């Protein structure tokens, strides 16, 4: 076995892969939340749709995106491999429930991760796949008066099915035609079951992060009397509280909006 | 009776060992791999010996009954290990350590051996530090020392309260390295049941595999026993449950003399017995006596009230308390040596002034210390011991005095060995607590670890070579009829045990034996009591072979069978101990004969008649053993009477 | 006290085991847990039955021989002690106590409640030592060890090798045990020359023994009778990746040791 393979096939190596992919996914959460905050701007989806278009069409971002998808798959795959190995390490289970002190989330990362994976599949098929590979998503045309900087929007139906985006200037009006993911989001989030599913998924994310973030630092061997409390603080407040709440707020707010 | 020759080299004390090392024959480095050495027991002495011999190039086969060498009972030593390093610049020297050990042993040890022990003590510390043993350190990074067991100098190296574990893990790591290199073949969960003699020389052993029950033979050019002490003959002791005399006893029955069996050390500060169910006694560090005051109620009436729980210890008025150690030994007070402290506690109990539910305990009171130093300071010093006491007794020693009572802790007696650690059977060696050699009639604190490691690391690697060079590397074959014969003897013996289908459990016999030993061969012994004990043990032994019950079969894990074999040997050893104690009509160290005391009630030696090592020779089943003497010559020290007034 | 025990009985490694219920009657709260089992065993022997087999030796919490998974926790309901230090006053009259052996593929049952922990020995044999022969003549005080380092190394060295960490871990991982030894030697100056090869060898042996992987749940740390810290695992990880990824001269250390 080559040295490289041996390293990453060892127990510690597999842990390292989990930690590195996990941390990469954590950084993505920040970016994703940051971008999605555009959903809260009251601009008929102007900012959000442009942002979605940018993400899917700017080549470097696209590379990173595919790296991200790979990470999700590797993270899930290694979780599966490790779980199977760990189960094999105790072929006969205890009869009594384990009462050793350990946090609930740390003991249920597999369950939490499975829910999240299911969520990611549904989430991506609904938005990412529809957006990129189907024609289910409509278009919007934004006209911005360059003199007053006011934007109005109308639905737009492209002549060619391959149409993606256009930016033109017509008589002091900037005309942007772009896929209207925002409308898709609004319609999805008007469905109560869908909203509940999202909120549950974000709760799951919270618990997954509560253990996962600080755990990945341990796995990397980055434990320090001074810095570990900071890592735990960030893992708890940013990743397990602020980010899940931020994401969960979107379906909730849109659902409430849809009721009006 | 014959006189034994210990083969102590002649010449000045300080040169004996160096000269001897030079005179010993060497085995050619290329020939070493042609020799097999059997090491039984892998504690400090055995583990150190097995590793060191393998490093030299011998093929070592090591055996232990535990599941891993790391669990040998050496691990439980708390206090520390002595070495004459004089790091503290307080006047220590090899000679002083030698002198303290000889004197502490009440002049019943060999000068030559003890000097060698003091000499190599310094190497032990170097060796252990190099292995990564985490001894306590000063802020400057240097090793820390403390004074221990009443010594006037600070020469004790320690690793918090678990020096034994750390030293053992050091030896274990050295052993592991040799196992990894293939120079040591390790047999765990294997109990030695006999030694094989070929033409009078020890050439192998018979073991029982404790998992499968297989009776196996193993051959070697020499057999080293490092199987520890026999304190469990008392049933209750601070020894591990598994500690036993079987290997040493079976060797004794094959011709190795057993020396000074009656010398037992009884440690004063243990947690008292709570009931018949008790399986073991727990030691608390001697250091407690630095600040605790030992007392018993002045009157039997007060004691009675305390026993019944009518009053609490704290309610006993100052004038009703008897701080008996301070009263009798004004200059040493609570810090008198172990044997003196133990004996006085027993006296209180014998006068019915003992306390606790059973009445078999005295108080160790920290009220004064807490008042003087404050609770925090006391907690800083003794916190872990107080916690341990609380854990076991459910009583808080911060608010009420501890109850303590002496317990058997160490046995100074053991297989007789000469200066080379060879027993009276050629090729059979005994190391560590298993032999009798260095502590005389009483062992000083922090000396057991020192002796075990000295024997294993620094003595046997030299002296064994001399013997091996003499006999030559001709292979030893287990096909020799002596192996099969001994194996059949063992099988017959095991079957005899398994055939016991009586009504009384082996453990009950063990407990009965313990009661007899403790009562008559414990802290104070009399001719009358010992004679009675002999009869009692004899009867108990006869009863054992009639009425004991041993369940299960050989071909399985069978702790009942293991225990039966060990108790059968303890029953025989018990009788020998009583014989030895009866023969020695003097008091010395841990052996106190009521008939031999000073007018003040202190131990009175009889150097004229008893300055010898008693080495007992086995003469066959139910035959009285024969006493052989090794006369102790004191060339360099002057014999004095100990006094702690 | 009267108690009901549900005890795992298994004749040997080859046969299947099952729970058997016993009554423990007239138990004193002052007894240790093992003494309670002694009492039950004595009554079994009187009936001609085989006693319950369990590992034990020193009975003062240092040899690491005793084990027992009691009511869902290794070494029973109290923290920082071994089973032999557990007293019956920690239970209440009439309680049902479930006693199981350590469960791990790497710790096969030998009989009843006793398991084979020789995997721990093999991990130590793979590299848990400093290669010095007997007879070093470097004075002990020639090696300076800062007190904080000595204390920290000592904390790691207090491991008694009982296996409670493996028993408690939901993955039956041995990382706390292995890392304690790696840390102890890795922190001390004496351990530096073999630091990078040691960690590789010991981790490889740990993996070969079939222990599970660590998921940082912390159950090991919570159940360790000697309170060994999980920090050790991070130290081991650090050393391992340092050795594997950044120490060119040690890359083949492990390969050359025949693995």
Residue B515: pLDDT over 90: yes
What residue in A sits closest to C206 (Cα-Cα)? A11
Residue B338 annotated to the active site: yes
Task: Specify whether B551 is located in the same domain as B571.
Answer: yes
Among all residues of chain C, which has the CA nearest to that of B130? C190
Mean pLDDT of B512-523: 96
> Closest by alpha carbon to B114, among B585, B625, B606, B637?
B637
Residues 6+ apart with CB under 8 A from B562: B65, B191, B210
pLDDT at position B420 is 98
Say whether residue C3 is in contact with chain B using an 8 A CB cutoff.
Answer: no
The structural domains of chain A, ordered by start, are 3-89+106-136+181-259 (1.20.1300.10), 139-179 (no CATH)
Size of interface B-C (CB pairs under 8 A): 217
Report yes or no: C80 at the B interface, CB cutoff 8 Å. no
Q: CB of A210 within 8 Å of any CB in chain C?
A: no
Question: Do residue B589 and residue B454 come from a single domain?
Answer: no
Please, which chains are in contact with C (at least 3 CB pairs closer than 8 A)?
A, B
Domain that holds residue B325: 268-408
Indicate the DSSP class of residue B231: G
Clarify whether residues B279 and B361 are in a common domain: yes
pLDDT at C253: 62
B587 contact C CB<8A: no
Q: Measure the CA–CA gap between A251 and B65, rounded to whole angstroms.
A: 67
What does the alpha-carbon distance between residue B399 and residue A124 come to, in Å, rounded to a whole number?
Answer: 67
B531-580 pLDDT per residue, tens: 999 999 999 999 999 999 999 999 999 999 999 999 999 999 999 999 99
Q: Do C171 and A91 touch (CB under 8 A)?
A: no
Structure tokens at B635: 């060339």
Residue-wise pLDDT for A213-256, tens only, equals 999 999 999 999 999 999 999 999 999 999 999 999 999 999 99
Q: What is the mean predicted confidence (pLDDT) over B522-527?
A: 95
Whole-angstrom Cα distance, residue B275 to residue A39? 75
B590-642: pLDDT as tens digits: 999 999 998 877 889 999 999 999 999 999 998 999 999 999 999 999 998 87
Q: Please state the pTM of the whole predicted model.
A: 0.95
pLDDT for B388 beyond 90: no
Interface chains of chain B (3 or more CB pairs under 8 Å): C
- pLDDT (tens digit, 9 = 90+) per residue, C49-95? 999 999 999 999 999 999 999 999 999 999 999 999 999 999 999 99
Is 80 exceeded by the pLDDT of residue B340?
Answer: yes
Find tokens 């009936």 and name the residue: C47
| Model confidence pLDDT, tens digit, residues B456-508 | 999 999 999 999 999 999 999 999 999 999 999 999 999 999 999 999 999 99
Tens of pLDDT along C176-222? 999 999 999 999 999 999 999 999 999 999 999 999 999 999 999 99
B460 and B390 in a common domain = no
User: Which residues in chain A touch residue C69, judged by CB atoms under 8 angstroms apart?
Assistant: 94, 96
For residue A16, give the nearest of A214, A232, A207, A218 by alpha carbon: A218
Averaged pLDDT, A99-116: 95
- Does the beta carbon of C189 lie under 8 angstroms from any beta carbon of chain A? no
Does the pLDDT value for residue B117 go beyond 80?
yes
Best probe of the B interface among C35, C56, C58, C80, by most B CBs < 10 A, is C58
Domain extent listing, chain C: 3-111, 118-256
C259 falls in which pLDDT band (50, 70, 90)? very low
Q: State the total domains in chain B.
A: 3
> Between chains, do A96 and C69 touch, taking CB under 8 Å as contact?
yes
Residue of C nearest to B52 (CA): C134
Q: Are B402 and B388 in contact (CB under 8 A)?
A: no
pLDDT in tens, A45-89: 899 999 988 888 899 998 999 999 999 999 999 999 999 999 999
CA angle A135, A137, A143 (to 5 degrees): 120
User: What does the pLDDT look like over B5-25, one tens digit per residue?
Assistant: 999 999 999 999 999 999 999
Per the CB < 8 A criterion, the answer to whether B339 and B590 are in contact is yes
Asked whether residue B112 falls in the same domain as residue B202, the answer is yes
Which residues make beta-bridge pairs with B549?
A: B501, B505
User: What is the Cα–Cα distance from B115 to A110, expressed in whole angstroms?
Assistant: 65
**Can you read off the two tokens belonging to residue A67?**
């790296």
pLDDT reading at B525 higher than 60 = yes
Which CATH superfamily includes the segment(s) C118-256? Alpha-helical ferredoxin (1.10.1060.10)
User: Hey, which residues 151-180 in chain C have their CB within 8 Å of chain B?
Assistant: 151, 153-154, 157-158, 160-161
Claim to verify: residue B470 and residue B572 sit in the same structural domain: no
- Name which of C89, C138, C144 is nearest B394 (Cβ-Cβ): C89
Q: Which residues contact B509 (CB under 8 A, 6 or more apart)?
A: B540, B543, B544, B548, B567, B571
**Predicted confidence (pLDDT) at residue C254 exceeds the cutoff of 60:** no
User: Is the same domain home to B458 and B399?
Assistant: no
Q: Residue holding tokens 């795959």?
A: A77
pLDDT of the residue at B39: 98
Collapsing DSSP states into helix, strand and coil, what is residue B599? coil
User: Is B83 in the same domain as B201?
Assistant: yes
Tell me, what CATH number does B364's domain have?
3.90.700.10
Gap from A218 CA to chain C (nearest CA, Å): 6
Q: Sheet harboring B321-322: ordered strands across? A: B264-270, B402-411, B362-365, B293-297, B321-322
- Is domain C3-111 annotated with CATH 3.10.20.30? yes
In a domain, B295, yes or no: yes
Q: State the count of interchain CB pairs (< 8 A) between A and C.
A: 138
Burial class (CB in 10 A: 0-12, 13-18, 19+), B380: exposed
Instruction: Give which of B160, B168, B180, B161 is closest to B71, Cα–Cα.
Output: B168
Judge if B427 and B384 occupy the same domain. Answer: no
C125 CB neighbours in chain B (<8 A) are 176-177, 179-180
Tokens standing for residue B45? 């002495």
For the record, the structure tokens of B478 come out as 């287990």
Query: Which one, of B40, A219, B585, lies nearest residue C216 by Cα?
Result: A219
Give the closest of A3, A89, A219 to C216, CB-based. Answer: A219
**B285-339 pLDDT per residue, tens:** 888 888 899 999 999 999 999 999 999 999 999 999 999 999 998 888 898 878 8
Pair B202, B100 in one domain: yes
Q: How far is CA A205 from CA A33, A199, A255, in A?
A: 13, 10, 21
| Residue ranges in chain A assigned as alpha helix (H) | 3-9, 11-36, 46-57, 59-88, 104-107, 109-123, 130-133, 181-188, 192-219, 228-233, 243-259
Whether residue B311 is found in the same domain as residue B248: no
Distance of CA C32 to the CA centre of its chain: 20
- Please report whether residue B637 resides in a domain: no
For residues C7-22, give the mean pLDDT: 96
Q: Supply angle C-alpha B211, B212, B214, rounded to 5.
A: 125
Under the banding of pLDDT at 50, 70 and 90, the label for residue C258 is very low
Chain B residues close to C65, C-beta within 8 Å? 66-67, 71
Residue C2 CA: distances (Å) to CA of B308, C88, C196: 25, 11, 54
CA distance C158 to B134: 10
Q: Extract the tokens encoding B404.
A: 């303590």
* Residue tagged 């940082």 (tokens): C216
Q: Test C136 with B188 for CB contact under 8 angstroms.
A: no
Position B1 scores a pLDDT of 53
For chain A, the average pLDDT equals 92
Q: Looking at the complex, does the CB of residue C240 fall below 8 Å from at least one CB of chain A? A: yes
Is residue B520 a contact partner of residue B533, using CB atoms and an 8 Å limit?
A: yes
* Any domain includes B623: no
Residue B567 forms part of a structural domain: yes
C233 close to A (CB below 8 A): yes
Per-residue model confidence (pLDDT) at position B383: 85
* Helix, strand, coil percentages in chain B from 3-state DSSP, rounded to 5: 40, 15, 40
Q: Coil, strand or helix: which one is B430?
A: strand
| DSSP structure string for chain C | --EEEEEEE-SSSSS--EEEEEEE-S--TTSBHHHHHHHHHHHHHHTTPPPPP----SSSS-S-----EETTEET-SSTT--GGG-BGGGS-TT-EEEEE----TTS-EEETTEE--HHHHHHHHHH-S----TT--S-GGGS---HHHHHHHHHHHT-----HHHHHSTT-B-HHHHHHHHHHHHHSGGGGGGHHHHHHHHHHHHHHTT-B------HHHHH-TT---THHHHHHHHHHHIIIII-GGGTTHHHHTT-
Burial class (CB in 10 A: 0-12, 13-18, 19+), C189: middle
Q: Answer whether A187 touches C (CB < 8 Å).
A: no
In chain B, residues with a C-beta closer than 8 Å to the C-beta of C225 are none
Q: Is C239 exposed, middle or buried (0-12, 13-18, 19+ CB in 10 A)?
A: buried
Mean pLDDT of chain B: 95
Provide, as residue numbers in chain B, all residues whose Cβ is less than 8 Å from the Cβ of C56: 241
* Same domain flag for B332 and B453: no
Closest CA to B289 of B305, B275, B270: B270
Contact in structure between C209 and C106 (CB atoms under 8 Å): yes
Catalytic residue among B338, B443, B541, B566: B338
Query: What does the alpha-carbon distance between residue B133 and residue B129 come to, in Å, rounded to a whole number?
Result: 5
Q: What is the pLDDT of residue B2?
A: 64
Residue A6, pLDDT > 90, answer no
Residue C251 Cα to chain centre, angstroms? 30
- Contact between C71 and C39 under an 8 Å Cβ cutoff? The reply is no
- The angle, 0 to 180 degrees and rounded to 10, between the axes of the packed helices B111-131 and B163-180 is 70
C241 and B CB contact within 8 Å = no
Nearest to B231 by CA among B240, B218, B222: B240
Q: Are strands B201-209 and B402-411 parallel, antiparallel or unpaired?
A: unpaired
Closest A-chain CA to C223:
A100
Domain boundary (B382, B408, B434) is at B408
- Residue B572's domain is classified under what CATH number? 1.20.58.100
Query: Which chain B residue's Cα is nearest to C156?
Result: B134
**For the CA atoms of B172, B177, B182, B186, what is the dihedral angle to 10 degrees?**
10
pLDDT tens digits, one per residue of B148-199: 877 889 999 999 889 999 999 999 999 999 999 999 999 999 999 999 999 9
CATH (domain of B217): 3.50.50.60
3-class SS of residue B185: strand
């Amino acid at each position: 076995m080559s040295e490289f393979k041996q390293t990453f096939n060892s127990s510690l190596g597999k842990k390292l892969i989990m930690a590195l992919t996990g941390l990469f996914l954590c950084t993505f959460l920040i970016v994703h939340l940051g971008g999605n905050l555009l959903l809260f701007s009251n601009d008929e989806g102007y900012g959000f749709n442009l942002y979605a278009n940018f993400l899917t069409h700017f080549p470097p971002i696209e590379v990173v995106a595919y790296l991200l998808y790979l990470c999700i798959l590797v993270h899930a795959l290694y979780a599966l491999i490790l779980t199977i190995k760990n189960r094999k390490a105790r072929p006969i289970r205890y009869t009594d429930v384990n009462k050793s002190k350990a946090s609930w989330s740390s003991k249920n990362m597999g369950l939490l991760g499975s829910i999240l994976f299911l969520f990611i599949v549904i989430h991506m098929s609904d938005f990412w796949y529809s957006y990129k590979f189907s024609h289910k998503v409509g278009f919007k045309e934004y006209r911005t008066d360059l003199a007053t900087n006011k934007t109005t929007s109308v639905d737009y139906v492209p002549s060619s099915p391959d149409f993606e985006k256009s930016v033109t200037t017509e008589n002091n009006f900037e005309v942007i035609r772009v896929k209207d993911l925002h409308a898709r989001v609004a319609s999805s989030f008007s469905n109560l079951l869908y909203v509940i599913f999202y909120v549950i998924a974000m709760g799951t994310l919270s618990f997954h992060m509560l253990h996962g973030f600080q755990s990945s630092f341990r796995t990397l061997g980055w434990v320090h009397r001074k810095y570990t409390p900071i890592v735990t603080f960030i893992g708890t407040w940013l990743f397990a509280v602020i980010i899940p709440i931020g994401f969960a707020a979107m379906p909730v707010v849109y659902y409430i909006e849809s009721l009006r | 009776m014959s006189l034994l020759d210990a083969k102590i080299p002649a010449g000045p004390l300080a040169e004996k060992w160096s000269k001897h090392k030079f005179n010993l024959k060497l085995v050619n480095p290329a020939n070493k791999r042609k020799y097999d050495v059997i090491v039984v027991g892998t504690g400090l002495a055995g583990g150190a010996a097995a590793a060191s011999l393998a490093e030299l190039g011998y093929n070592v086969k090591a055996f232990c009954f535990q599941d891993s060498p790391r669990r040998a009972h050496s691990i439980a030593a708390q206090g520390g290990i002595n070495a004459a390093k004089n790091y503290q610049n307080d006047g220590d020297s090899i000679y002083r350590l030698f002198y303290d050990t000889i004197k502490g042993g009440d002049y019943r040890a060999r000068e030559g051996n003890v000097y060698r022990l003091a000499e190599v003590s310094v190497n032990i510390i170097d060796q252990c530090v190099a292995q990564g043993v985490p001894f306590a350190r000063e802020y400057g990074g240097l090793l820390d020392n403390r004074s221990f067991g009443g010594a006037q100098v600070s020469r004790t190296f320690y690793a918090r309260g678990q020096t034994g574990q750390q030293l053992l893990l050091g030896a274990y790591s050295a052993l592991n390295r040799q196992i990894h290199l293939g120079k040591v073949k390790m047999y765990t969960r294997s109990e030695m049941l006999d030694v094989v003699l070929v033409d009078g020389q020890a050439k192998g052993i018979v073991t029982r595999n404790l998992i499968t029950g297989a009776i196996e033979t193993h051959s070697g050019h020499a057999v080293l026993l490092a199987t520890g002490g026999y304190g469990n003959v008392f049933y209750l002791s601070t020894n591990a449950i598994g500690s036993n005399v079987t290997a040493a006893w079976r060797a004794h029955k094959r011709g190795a003399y057993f020396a000074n069996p009656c010398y037992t050390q009884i440690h004063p500060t243990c947690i008292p017995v709570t009931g018949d169910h008790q399986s073991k006694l727990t030691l608390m560090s001697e250091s407690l006596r630095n600040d605790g005051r030992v007392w018993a109620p002045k009157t039997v009436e007060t004691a009675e009230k305390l026993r019944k729980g009518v009053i609490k210890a704290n309610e006993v008025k100052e004038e009703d308390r008897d701080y008996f150690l301070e009263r009798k030994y004004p200059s040493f007070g609570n810090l008198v040596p172990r044997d003196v402290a133990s004996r006085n506690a027993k006296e209180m109990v014998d006068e019915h002034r003992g306390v606790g539910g059973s009445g078999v305990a005295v108080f160790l009171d920290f009220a004064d210390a807490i008042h003087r130093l404050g609770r925090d300071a006391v907690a800083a010093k003794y916190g872990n011991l107080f916690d341990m006491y609380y854990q076991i007794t459910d009583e808080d020693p911060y608010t009420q005095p501890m109850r303590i009572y002496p317990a058997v802790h160490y046995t100074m007696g053991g297989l007789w060995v000469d200066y080379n650690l060879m027993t009276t059977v050629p090729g059979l060696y005994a190391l560590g607590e298993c032999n009798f050699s260095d502590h005389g009639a009483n062992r000083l604190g922090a000396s057991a670890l020192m002796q075990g490691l000295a024997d294993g690391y620094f003595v046997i690697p030299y002296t064994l070579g001399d013997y091996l060079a003499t006999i030559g590397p001709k292979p030893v074959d287990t096909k020799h009829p002596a192996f099969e014969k001994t194996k059949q003897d063992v099988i017959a013996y095991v079957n005899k045990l398994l055939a016991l289908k009586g009504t009384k459990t082996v453990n009950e016999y063990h407990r009965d034996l313990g009661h007899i030993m403790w009562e008559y061969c414990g802290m104070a012994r009399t001719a009358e009591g010992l004679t009675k004990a002999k009869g009692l043990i004899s009867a108990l032994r006869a009863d054992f072979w009639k009425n004991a019950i041993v369940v299960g079969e050989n071909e399985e894990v069978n702790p009942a069978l293991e225990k039966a074999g060990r108790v059968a040997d303890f029953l025989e050893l018990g009788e020998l101990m009583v014989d030895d104690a009866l023969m020695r009509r003097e008091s010395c160290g841990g052996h106190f004969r009521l008939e031999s005391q000073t007018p003040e009630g202190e131990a009175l030696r009889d150097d004229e008649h008893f300055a010898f090592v008693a080495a007992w020779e086995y003469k066959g089943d139910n035959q009285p053993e024969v006493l052989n003497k090794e006369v102790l010559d004191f060339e360099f020290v002057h014999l004095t009477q100990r006094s702690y007034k | 006290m009267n108690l009901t025990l549900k005890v795992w009985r298994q004749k040997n490694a080859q046969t299947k085991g099952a729970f058997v219920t016993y009554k423990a009657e007239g138990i004193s709260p002052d007894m240790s847990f093992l003494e309670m089992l002694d009492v039950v065993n004595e009554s079994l022997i009187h009936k001609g039955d085989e006693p319950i087999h369990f590992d034990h030796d020193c009975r003062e919490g240092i040899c690491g021989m005793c084990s027992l998974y009691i009511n869902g926790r290794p070494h029973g309901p109290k923290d920082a002690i071994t089973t032999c230090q557990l007293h019956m006053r920690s239970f209440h009259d009439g309680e049902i106590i479930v006693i199981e052996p350590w469960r791990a593929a790497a710790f096969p049952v030998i009989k009843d409640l006793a398991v084979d922990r020789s995997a721990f020995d093999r991990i130590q044999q793979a590299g848990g030592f400093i290669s010095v022969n007997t007879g070093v003549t470097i004075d002990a005080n020639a090696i300076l060890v800062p007190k904080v380092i000595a204390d920290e190394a000592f904390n790691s060295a207090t491991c008694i090798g009982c296996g409670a960490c493996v028993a408690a871990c939901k993955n039956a991982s041995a990382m706390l045990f292995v890392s304690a030894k790696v840390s102890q030697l890795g922190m001390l100056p004496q351990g530096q020359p073999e630091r990078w090869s040691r960690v590789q060898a010991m981790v490889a042996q740990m993996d070969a023994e079939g222990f599970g992987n660590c998921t940082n749940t912390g159950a090991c740390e919570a159940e360790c009778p000697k309170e060994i810290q999980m920090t050790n695992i991070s130290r081991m990880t650090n050393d391992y990746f340092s050795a594997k990824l950044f120490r060119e001269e040690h890359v083949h250390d492990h390969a050359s040791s025949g693995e």
